[in-house]
Amino acid sequence: MSKKDRIAEPWGTRTPYASGEPWPVRVDMHLEEGLQAGDVDRWVQTASILHSNGDALDIAVKDDRIAGVRGRADDRVNHGRLGPKDLYGWQANSSPDRLTKPLIRKRGKLVETDWDTAMDRIVGKTRDLLDEQGASAIGFYTTGQLFAEEYYTLGIVAHGGLGTNHVDGNTRLCTATAAAALKESFACDGQPGSYTDIDHADVIALYGHNMAETQTVLWTRVLDRLAGPNPPQIICVDPRLTPVAKAATVHLAPRPGTNVALMNGLLHEIIANGWIDSDYIQAHAVGFSELEKRVKEYPPEVVEHICDVPADRIREAAGIIGRAERLLSTVLQGFYQSNQATAAAVQVNNINIIRGMLGKPGCGILQMNGQPTAQNTRECGGDGDLPAFRNWSNDAHVEDLAKVWNVDPMEIPHYSPPTHVMQMMRYVEDGSIRMLWVSGTNPAVSLPELQRVRSILTQDRLFLVVQDIFLSETAQLADVVLPAATWGEKTGTFTNVDRTVHISEKAVDPPGDAKSDLDIFLEYARRLDLRDKDGQPLVTWHDPESAFEAWKECTRGRPCDYTGITYEKLRGGSGIQWPCNEENPEGSERIYADGKFWSSPEYCESYGRDLVTGAPLEPDEYKAMNPEGKAIIKAAEYMPPHEIPSGKYPFQLITGRTLYHFHTRTKTARAPQLQAAAPEVWVEMSDHDAKAFGIAEGDLTRVSTPRGSVEAKVRISGIRDGVLFLPFHYGYWDTDGGHKPDKAGRAANELTITDWDPASKQPIFKTAAASIRKLKSGKGPSAAPTTTASAPIRPIGRETKGSHNAEVQETLNGAGTEGQR
Amino acid sequence: MKIGLVLHELHRSENDLALELLQVSERNKVDHEIYHLGRDLARWSQDHVREIAEIGKQYGQNLDPEPRHEFNLAEKVREAGSDILGRRSAPALLMLRDLREIYMKASGVSVDWEMLAQAAQGIKHTDLLDVTKRCHPQTLRQMRWANAMLKVNSTQALIS
């Protein structure tokens, strides 16, 4: 047992292990000051909702309050480890500024009210709009933070009850491309890989994926492999010098917006050198010849010119990937939020397909999620997708869903792809959506081009409902605010990126009159008196477990089959990976073994889209292309980004998440250790660029694009030349401005462009032309963390470490030894 | 042989389609997907204009390899107009009309490519056939895009 400041050492103590061995257990625990493990009243089982890893943990309850957390040693995902966000983030639950009563806007001001008044207002508005215009007037924008039961309930209320096509989740900003890329390559969502692939892989390639900061515990697993015998080789594609890049065998730092060219260069080399599994391609895939033809146009010298990456470096990386025996590929926002997002992510799938690296230990693809319950938004119909991976353009699937819900198929909108959030904002802007219900997310900070978003959300003709745990920037603009319960205060399940389902139990009561999101949606359905076609209540469940049972029925026979899972089975042990049913009673570690896919035209979730235009394929086109249900290889040409540097805006601006904060800092800024580690926005630039512009570490600058500006202190980091980086978590709720800048802007999205990937509809946050200007010299270094990708390139006389009570207890079991790395 | 005539007509209609895509893009600046994709897809037609001019030389055609441009006041006015009118719902109907026009024009271009491909096969001119193989699929994608955008936008525009 030892103590570690996990702000200063985010990944904790090394426990090295060799290829194929089980990952040693290390249990991390952080309790409130003065509390000992033995004094805890009870431990309550849950998992993390502050990142997508799905780390299982127990909440410590003392005197009916949350008083700490401890990792679950038996869990398949984290083997007892926790990341900094989980170790410290729980403290936000008991913040004094939690919403405890509904609020309603009266004479321009939000005032406290009771649930009856608030719900009457919402239900009355809903009825008026349904009478006047129909369901097209109503939109729902939810989160990646709720539980499966809640998304499923929202989905049936919105799609089956009201009949609106306007439903999306903020997973759109984060993981929509993961889903889209999987639908393109395998005609179905769902990850082929498993986290245990890290235990077996000999090459791990991370594309635009700063795993060290986004999934700290998963990165810990990689670090432990690197510290053991026969470590894997790491390939990193990232314009920043991230901890992943520092650990990499080969680091490629392409110009932002050129990922497709780079991927085509890698594929060019892999195919030209014959590092492909021809038998596998022949038996299990369609579309190879088109890929072969397309990547011929991208020899490394051509790619060098587009991406500004040395041709030899591309050859070196391709050689390692091409000769890998067990290749794990992972992808995240560096691809998903960049130019040609889906096209680039699909090329990663292509590498694993043409190398036959699927469905075997160590051979996986993790098209990562950024949000913990993103997978559920996608599965349960909380974003635009129909529940349980049903295909909206397959009439039989809509009829099947209508049977499950006992409604007429015409009641379920399926005339076009469901409306994504950026399009919803457009419909609010043109006045055709007149009521928007936002649950658990914060578009006034998280969407691109904030000036535009604020002007849309503040229109008088919009009726805005916000359901949240704090008075976020968006909540401050609402007509009605509903106080919600959160993690630790309600029960439900959620699913991580490798299909592991965890249960999260209620540990304590929510503050004041706050209610669980499930209860709020159920109440809305009841007051609206939504009925099925026999006149019975449409929503037949009343609590988390009955909602889960209903959801299970909906998944029967579909790829994400939950029918073998019960609350009872999830309690006590570890998470379970779907599909879990009669054939797979203990769940399924890997899917797509032996080249079997869910892509037959009758069964598949999606017929895919054109990677450039985003136009959906018609059913007949798909049938002609893939009659036998194989994997689909889709080639893509490189298209330049829509905004490129100019004399006035000479830089490319990218934004991103960081280790110490999560989604608009709603919770993480209320955890003192996390807030102190990254207290204010900063801007990163390279040493070369800083010298050219006469800027030094810590200088205050103004970063501008055609849309706005932000003021931030400079960190001179290892980022590539010509690129600026801004962390995207900083908004205004903790400033005098409240929901908008009172002086200089500080939210990265003041600057980003309104543009999205045509296939996944994910906004492009990593393509903006920007300028930077020094405003005044700094008095010291910037407050950016020194432990992460924002590490300074030379000592600045200050190191990020924990403020008070940051010490975490680590207990090593088995083979672990301390301090090897 | 009348291949020169077809090339001439195709050169004209691709130029026309490129311009239409650019103008529709500008008129609908506030509908960001149409704005950005309109410009991306116009580039395909502009590339086609260059390809047609190049291969046209073999058939005695003196075609301008530079796609027609219209960088002038009218363009800026259309963009500004779109921003100002974007908060009203009537422009949604104009957008449907714009998309319909793109679909129709791209269909015309597609038919021209088909005719040219048939002729190229008949006289076994592989160079010319290759041009049609490179360009025609992109025309089809332009058509499908306009069609898909019509499907996405019609419902909301017509029932709200």
pLDDT digits (tens, 9 = 90+) for A171-213: 999 889 999 999 999 999 999 999 999 999 999 999 999 999 9
pLDDT > 60? residue B140: yes
Stretch (H or E) spanning B117: helix B90-122
* H helices, E strands: number in chain B: 5, 0
Residue A52: predicted pLDDT: 85
Residues of chain B in contact with residue A134, where contact means CB-CB under 8 angstroms, are 159-160
List the Cα angle A729/A733/A738 in 5-degree steps. 135
Residues of chain A in contact with residue B47, where contact means CB-CB under 8 angstroms, are none
Average pLDDT of the residues in A446-466: 97
* Separation CA A258–CA A640 (nearest Å): 7
Average pLDDT of the residues in A41-50: 96
By Cβ distance, the residue of A136, A419, A423 closest to B160 is A136
- Note whether A610 contacts B: Cβ–Cβ < 8 A: yes
* CB spacing of B141 vs A615 below 8 angstroms: yes
* CB spacing of B156 vs A756 below 8 angstroms: no
- Note whether B160 contacts A: Cβ–Cβ < 8 A: yes
Q: How far is CA A574 from CA A191, A218, A224, A236, A570, in A?
A: 19, 17, 21, 31, 7
Residues of chain A in contact with residue B145, where contact means CB-CB under 8 angstroms, are 610, 613-615
ipTM of model over 0.95: no
Residue B71: predicted pLDDT: 56
**What is the phi-psi region of residue A522: left when phi exceeds 0, alpha when psi lies from -120 to 50, beta otherwise?**
alpha
Ramachandran angles phi, psi of A392, nearest 5°: -65, -20
CA dihedral A794, A798, A799, A801 (to 10 degrees): -170
Average pLDDT of the residues in A404-427: 94
* Separation CA A392–CA A417 (nearest Å): 7
Residue A79: predicted pLDDT: 97
Mean pLDDT of chain B: 90
pLDDT digits (tens, 9 = 90+) for A679-738: 999 999 999 999 999 999 999 999 999 999 999 999 999 999 999 999 999 999 999 999
Within 10 A of A108 (CB to CB), how many other CB atoms are there? Answer: 5
Stretch (H or E) spanning A684: strand A682-685
Are residues A254 and A239 in contact, defined by beta-carbon separation less than 8 angstroms? yes
Q: Cis omega (within 30 of 0) on the bond before A706?
A: no
Retrieve residue A711's tokens: 């003021």
Retrieve residue B153's tokens: 């936008």
* CB spacing of B144 vs A431 below 8 angstroms: no
Is residue A382 very low, low, confident or very high in pLDDT (cuts 50, 70, 90)? confident
Location of structure tokens 């006015």: B77
Strand partners of residue A435: A138, A463
* H helices, E strands: number in chain A: 26, 29
Residues of chain A in contact with residue B89, where contact means CB-CB under 8 angstroms, are 430-432
> Where do the DSSP E strands lie in A72-202?
103-106, 109-112, 138-142, 167-169
pLDDT > 50? residue A817: no
Are residues A473 and A732 in contact, defined by beta-carbon separation less than 8 angstroms? yes
Q: Look up residue A408 and give its DSSP letter.
A: -
Closest CA–CA distance from residue A1 to any residue of chain B (Å): 56
Is residue B87 very low, low, confident or very high in pLDDT (cuts 50, 70, 90)? low
- Give the residue from chain B lying closest to A434, CA to CA: B160
Are residues A134 and A506 in contact, defined by beta-carbon separation less than 8 angstroms? no
pLDDT digits (tens, 9 = 90+) for A407-416: 999 999 988 8
pLDDT digits (tens, 9 = 90+) for A269-326: 999 999 999 999 999 999 999 999 999 999 999 999 999 999 999 999 999 999 999 9
Are residues A518 and A120 in contact, defined by beta-carbon separation less than 8 angstroms? no
* CB spacing of B152 vs A417 below 8 angstroms: yes
pLDDT > 50? residue A221: yes
Closest CA–CA distance from residue B121 to any residue of chain A (Å): 22
- Note whether A458 contacts B: Cβ–Cβ < 8 A: no
Q: Chain A neighbours among B 29-68 (CB < 8 Å)?
A: 30-33, 36-37, 39-41
Average pLDDT of the residues in A8-24: 97
- Give the residue from chain B lying closest to A756, CA to CA: B33
Q: Which range (A545-559, A666-680, A805-819) has the least confidence?
A: A805-819
* CB spacing of A615 vs B144 below 8 angstroms: yes
Closest CA–CA distance from residue B5 to any residue of chain A (Å): 31
pLDDT > 80? residue A517: yes
Count of alpha carbons within 13 Å of B17, Cβ hemisphere only?
33
* CB spacing of A613 vs B159 below 8 angstroms: no
Residue B85: predicted pLDDT: 64
Residues of chain A in contact with residue B148, where contact means CB-CB under 8 angstroms, are 613-616
Residue B69: predicted pLDDT: 74
Is residue B72 very low, low, confident or very high in pLDDT (cuts 50, 70, 90)? low
Are residues A768 and A338 in contact, defined by beta-carbon separation less than 8 angstroms? no
Location of structure tokens 């449409």: A538
Q: Give the mutation candidate from B144, B149, B155, B159 for the A interface (greatest A CB count, under 10 A).
A: B144
Mean pLDDT of chain A: 96
* Separation CA A593–CA A357 (nearest Å): 10
Q: Give the mutation candidate from A613, A618, A707, A754 for the B interface (greatest B CB count, under 10 A).
A: A613
Ramachandran angles phi, psi of A305, nearest 5°: -65, -40
Is residue A479 very low, low, confident or very high in pLDDT (cuts 50, 70, 90)? very high
For the residues of A333-369, what is the DSSP string, one character each? Answer: HHHHTSTTHHHHHHHHHHHHHHTT--SBTTBEEEE--
Is residue A804 very low, low, confident or very high in pLDDT (cuts 50, 70, 90)? confident
Q: Chain A neighbours among B 97-136 (CB < 8 Å)?
A: none
pLDDT > 80? residue B84: no
* CB spacing of A133 vs B160 below 8 angstroms: yes
pTM, rounded to two decimals: 0.96
pLDDT > 80? residue A418: yes
Are residues A350 and A342 in contact, defined by beta-carbon separation less than 8 angstroms? no
pLDDT digits (tens, 9 = 90+) for A289-300: 999 999 999 999
Are residues A641 and A649 in contact, defined by beta-carbon separation less than 8 angstroms? no
Closest CA–CA distance from residue A445 to any residue of chain B (Å): 20
Location of structure tokens 């926005």: A681
* CB spacing of A431 vs B87 below 8 angstroms: yes
pLDDT > 70? residue A218: yes
* Separation CA A14–CA A420 (nearest Å): 43
Q: Look up residue A739 and give its DSSP letter.
A: T
> Where do the DSSP E strands lie in A121-261?
138-142, 167-169, 203-207, 233-237, 250-252
* Separation CA B67–CA B45 (nearest Å): 9
CA dihedral A401, A403, A405, A409 (to 10 degrees): 70
Q: Look up residue A157 and give its DSSP letter.
A: I
List the Cα angle A206/A211/A216 in 5-degree steps. 155
* Separation CA A756–CA A249 (nearest Å): 33
* Separation CA A502–CA A535 (nearest Å): 35
Residues of chain A in contact with residue B157, where contact means CB-CB under 8 angstroms, are 432
Q: Look up residue A581 and give its DSSP letter.
A: S
Are residues B153 and B92 in contact, defined by beta-carbon separation less than 8 angstroms? yes
Angle of helix B32-56 relative to helix B3-27, nearest 10 degrees? 160
Please, what's the largest Cα pairwise distance for chain A?
73
Residue A370: predicted pLDDT: 78
Retrieve residue A219's tokens: 């990165």
Residue A371: predicted pLDDT: 81
Q: What is the dihedral sign for C-alpha B140, B142, B148, B151?
A: negative
Is residue A816 very low, low, confident or very high in pLDDT (cuts 50, 70, 90)? very low
pLDDT digits (tens, 9 = 90+) for A344-355: 999 999 999 999
pLDDT digits (tens, 9 = 90+) for A429-455: 999 999 999 999 999 999 999 999 999
By Cβ distance, the residue of A419, A431, A615 closest to B148 is A615
CA A173 to chain centre: 8
pLDDT > 60? residue B128: yes
Are residues A370 and A657 in contact, defined by beta-carbon separation less than 8 angstroms? yes
